[in-house]
Structure 1
Amino acid sequence: MLISAALRLLRAVAMLLFGAGLIQHAIARFELPTRLLNFTVAPQTAILTTCVLAATALALVLPLVRRAPDRMTRVVAILGLVALVLVVPFTFLATNFGYVDFETVMMSMADNRASDIVDVAVKDFAGPLAETALTTLLLAGSGWWLMRRMPAFVPAMGALALFAIVTSQPSAALYRLIFPDPALKMVSGKDLVAPEIVAMPATKRNLVIIYLESLERSYRDIPASADAFGPLAALEDRGFSARNLAQIHGTHYSAAGLVASQCGIPLLPRGLTDPKTFASSKGLTQHGISRFLPGVTCLGDLLSAQGYESAYVNGSDTEIFAIGNFLKDHGIGTVRGLKTEPEFANVEGTNTWGVPDTVLFDVGLQELDRLAARDAPFALMLFTAATHGPGGYLDPGCEYTPPVKPRRADSLMPATIYCTGKLIEKFLSDLAERGLADNTVVVLMSDHLAMPNTMASELNRLGEDRRNYFVVLNGAGQIDGVRSDRPAIMPDIYPTIVESLGFKLKDGAGNLGRSLLSPGPTLSERLGHDIVNRALFGNPDLRRLVWTDM
């Protein structure tokens, strides 16, 4: 009797473990609220939790029956393993990176060395990986044990496995391929208008672009980061600012944000073609492509044609996502990834994402001096890293204590935001001391919205109201102090930057982007953010156009 009760209790515990794993993956896959038993706020999660508790109760009271592994049990077990393979990697990415679609994951796998992926995983995500591995083993083990000790669980397990397979990201990608979204027809090649300069500025201004890793303007609206955002808020109020810059698919990670803001298009999928092969003419010929994104004219192309000297510097590695190939193929003369340069191999404070931003700005000033010494207008681009998730990376000497603590008291995000703002202030002061400020347009912008980090709970409360940060200082046409609330997306940044230099574009167009300094409507103003997002997601016509030689 005692043994029977103990076995039923063990079966109930196994059911509870299985159900907990099921809920965890369901929340990540379907973006469900985490209130487990709140039927008002999270009805789906509450219903799922109730079902798990009911199944646990049944496991506790039903008679003990041992089922030998028969054909049906083995088939269901195989389906369960297939479901785990198709679901677990994507729920891990959803939890830790915020994006989970199949196309982006395949692009990431193709565009990054396996050693780099392993390095990031071990250094920054060892804990989450171990947790995922443990929960996956518990899910698989408890499922198999329940099928052997509770015959009625076998068909239920089969149904759950089939549901997981059908609703997995790879299956969703296959469905989109067979049944395209009708919204895809609402944006076509006709909307891809190459930039055409119709008026020149009296004087060609220099350009400095500083990309701020994951540093969205939403932090300004959160009590725990509002004070830290102060330096950046002051710059936003001082310059031309876009306050309604939403994020769409294909602009939601660093390389994609870089491409969108410089080419006026999202970084559309190319299947499994590996950009690393583009480093040689042989690799290019094999893919029938002359260069990275050959079908579009980007910012570097346009500036190069106007006689600009240009340089790009980040603290990391420019081979990641083939960023170096992209920039060089589109007119950027000097491309540097400091983490890979021997001179910076042992810099104090170097982290997974590169050298400290203090070093980046020091090198940026050296590049500034080099470019300014030449008899030509210049464009300098810097890419910071301190505000990268999940916790932020403090530069040596960065000290800040927020007056309002984040929900996670160990979060370094407020300090990294504050110190990033102070570094930019110093850089602007150095620019002025060199006598370059009056003839230089400075652009400050986030590359994308923050992925899940130690302030995710505060950011997620803003829901669909989260917005990117974009500021132009000393733009042509006396635009300082002007605030734009027009609905916009990252591709609109490209023509806006061009026109902030004093150039006038025909219809304010830069590929899919429309300048916020021209009256023509943006895609978001015409169609709405949701339709634009659906229309551009893996759009086959646009994908063909941008990856085909002009």
Structure 2
Amino acid sequence: MAYALMVAIDPRFRPDQIGPYVLIVLILALGFGWRLFRRPSKALWLVALAAMILIPAVAVARGFGRVDMIAMMFHADFGMAGATVEGLETEILQASLSALFLALSFALLAGLWALGARSYVIFAALVVALNPGFRSVAWATVMPAVESDLMSRYTDPTLKAQPPTTPDLVIIYLEGTDRHFADEAVWGDLYAPMREFEAEGTSFTQVGQIEGTSWSLAGMVATQCGVPVLPKALTYRNNFDKLDAFMPSVDCLGDVMGRNGYELSYVVGGDVAFGGIDAFYRSHGFSRLIGMHEQEAIYGPEVIAAAKGGWVLDDQLVYETARTEAQTLLQQEKPLLLVVETIGPHGRMGILSRRCNDGVSVTLSKDVNKVVSCLLEDTYSFVRDTQAAHAKARPGKELRFVILSDHLSHNPNRPEAAVAYHGANTAIFLGGGSAGRVVSKPGSMIDIYPTILDWLDLTVEPHAAGLGRSLLRDDPTVVEVHGIGLFDRMLISDVPLSQEVWSE
């Protein structure tokens, strides 16, 4: 029972070494001791039901570090097109065995101690209370509402009438590759490609994570719109369904760049319909969306089969597609905005590209060092190749890159890093004339959007957008004023803000 409870409560608990022994003990108890126990009460079905309900939330928590109810609600409504449970088989097995162990061990103990039906009800209630999903909802519900000043901070960006320049821009989202991996004492030279970019540009070292920004689309929304993704009413009963447009009232990066004549394109290895991605990008000016199905029309079936890892294409092919898309955009006269989203270090089980495996096929790997290293090496090559292609196609025109982790790592089993690297996203701006600049101003992903606009010289005072503030300026961010903990409590109780964000 203790083993099962540890699996359910702590996503970092690694049960593999003692699991077989626990199973043997349970089998022996069932085989040799069952006749010594009284027949369990029918109330055991309550315990069994509570244990079964435990399985999905425990599997998610063990695979991604925690249960984020906002993310689960969001994906329940926007869908998970093309996604499978591949890569979560171990977590599902662990969760299922823990549920089985809880029910059977309690049945044996209850019979041995002659416990009545009331004890079954109490234990079933305990199992429900320990459910990570229930704990997440309970925490948001029980926490008292706090006074919020977020609506007074919410603003549309104040844009210049005519931008002085229109540099080409490429934004790269590194799946879960936050600054934790920059700790050389833990990871050695793993982060070296990013350090080279930091030496050539500006790095932001204290970009934290707030509620509504902890999954891929939410990270993209935060960094392109200056707001987190929140339910429309924040009660866990009103959700995201029946939306004709994704935050249509928010003036996002795609809207701004589109009005300034940019050609907008987005490349990803999964289905663009996954989790509202297509709704978001099409609602904010992107006409070119290239996902798995679009790449199936570009490459032959053999290439797709080799590059497919579970329900997505590997980052090797995604970057190859992005190179081709960049070449296509460079042939046009318009300035370009190209957004590339990667997938490699996705949770406990990463997707290792062909180049870093056997050169022939993709594999799922728990070797986080190898998966992250592969992604960063591919990212480095893509940036350098794109710079060379751009210099040849558009000599004299400036090209800039924004390199971001889409959210903090979902891997609960990576080694601990120094405190200085905890809770900080990767955020590197390459170009714009600043080399080796380090900005340690505390902020969150929503502050990246106004920082991009400021960096591109598109805005005037106060260099703000949504809830975000430019990290290149002195105006304090919400994190500086309130801290992330209080900021999160404001977000989950500020209904007017949520309604404003989703207004038509």
TM-score, normalised by the number of residues in structure 1: 0.77
How far apart are residue 322 of structure 1 and its match?
1.4
* Partner-residue secondary structure (3-state), 2:282: helix
Please list, as runs of the form range in 1=range in 2, the aligned pairs for 1:307-318 lying within 5 A after superposition: 307-318=261-272
How far apart are residue 260 of structure 1 and its match?
0.7
Equivalent in the alignment of 2:19: none
1:242 to 204, 226, 233: 204
Contact 1:315-1:339 at 8 Å conserved across structures = no
Residue 486 (structure 1) aligned with residue 436 (structure 2): no
For the residues of structure 1 that align with 2:47 and 2:395, how far apart are their CA atoms? 63
How far apart are residue 389 of structure 1 and its match?
3.6
Q: Which amino acid aligns with 2:152?
A: K
* Partner-residue secondary structure (3-state), 1:375: coil
Identity of aligned residues (%): 25
Equivalent in the alignment of 2:61: 94
Equivalent in the alignment of 1:149: 112
**Which consecutive residues of structure 1, in runs of 5 or more, have no partner in the other structure?**
1-17, 36-61, 278-286, 401-407
For the residues of structure 1 that align with 2:487 and 2:423, how far apart are their CA atoms? 17
How far apart are residue 153 of structure 1 and its match?
7.8
Q: 1:379 to 1:421 in 2, by over 3 A?
A: closer
Contact 1:228-1:417 at 8 Å conserved across structures = no
Which is further off, 249-258 or 102-111?
102-111
Please list, as runs of the form range in 1=range in 2, the aligned pairs for 1:116-155 lying within 5 A after superposition: 116-117=82-83, 119=84, 121=85, 123-152=86-115
Contact 1:111-1:274 at 8 Å conserved across structures = no
Residue 230 (structure 1) aligned with residue 192 (structure 2): yes
Contact 1:441-1:500 at 8 Å conserved across structures = no
For the residues of structure 1 that align with 2:63 and 2:154, how far apart are their CA atoms? 34
Equivalent in the alignment of 1:530: 485
For the residues of structure 1 that align with 2:315 and 2:150, how far apart are their CA atoms? 40
1:265-291 deviations in whole A, cap 9, x for unaligned?
11112467887x7xxxxxxxxx4x541
Equivalent in the alignment of 2:50: 83
* Partner-residue secondary structure (3-state), 2:56: helix
Equivalent in the alignment of 1:413: 371
Residue 193 (structure 1) aligned with residue 149 (structure 2): no
Equivalent in the alignment of 1:55: none
Contact 2:450-2:464 at 8 Å conserved across structures = yes
Higher relative contact order (CA closer than 8 Å, sequence separation 6+): 2
Please list, as runs of the form range in 1=range in 2, the aligned pairs for 1:173-212 lying within 5 A after superposition: 175=138, 179=142, 181-183=144-146, 185-198=147-160, 200-212=162-174
1:409-446 deviations in whole A, cap 9, x for unaligned?
78523532442343233333333343458512211111
Please list, as runs of the form range in 1=range in 2, the aligned pairs for 1:421-432 lying within 5 A after superposition: 421-423=379-381, 424-432=383-391
1:142-194 deviations in whole A, cap 9, x for unaligned?
222332332148655543332333454555566567655333x3243222211
Residue 546 (structure 1) aligned with residue 495 (structure 2): no
Q: 1:254 to 1:490 in 2, by over 3 A?
A: same
For the residues of structure 1 that align with 2:6 and 2:46, how far apart are their CA atoms? 19
Residue 332 (structure 1) aligned with residue 289 (structure 2): no
How far apart are residue 205 of structure 1 and its match?
1.6
1:218-255 deviations in whole A, cap 9, x for unaligned?
21104453312111111022211111111112111111
Equivalent in the alignment of 2:6: 23
**Which consecutive residues of structure 2, in runs of 5 or more, have no partner in the other structure?**
16-32, 359-365
Number of aligned pairs? Answer: 473
Residue 470 (structure 1) aligned with residue 434 (structure 2): no
How far apart are residue 464 of structure 1 and its match?
7.5
Q: 1:196 to 1:428 in 2, by over 3 A?
A: same
Q: Which amino acid aligns with 2:471?
A: L
For the residues of structure 2 that align with 1:458 and 1:487, how far apart are their CA atoms? 24
How far apart are residue 537 of structure 1 and its match?
3.1
Equivalent in the alignment of 1:380: 338
Contact 2:207-2:443 at 8 Å conserved across structures = yes
1:516 to 446, 465, 471: 471
For the residues of structure 2 that align with 1:354 and 1:437, how far apart are their CA atoms? 37
Q: Which amino acid aligns with 1:351?
A: G
Q: 1:197 to 1:429 in 2, by over 3 A?
A: same
Equivalent in the alignment of 1:41: none
For the residues of structure 1 that align with 2:117 and 2:420, how far apart are their CA atoms? 39
Which is further off, 519-528 or 348-357?
348-357
1:57-85 deviations in whole A, cap 9, x for unaligned?
xxxxx9x974455xxx334x244234324
1:361 to 299, 313, 319: 319
For the residues of structure 2 that align with 1:422 and 1:520, how far apart are their CA atoms? 33
Q: Which amino acid aligns with 1:325?
A: A
Q: Which amino acid aligns with 1:346?
A: E
Residue 74 (structure 1) aligned with residue 42 (structure 2): yes
Contact 1:106-1:272 at 8 Å conserved across structures = no
Q: Runs of 4+ in structure 1 displaced over 6 angstroms? A: 272-275
TM-score, normalised by the number of residues in structure 2: 0.84
Q: 1:254 to 1:265 in 2, by over 3 A?
A: same
Equivalent in the alignment of 2:20: none
Q: 1:359 to 1:34 in 2, by over 3 A?
A: closer
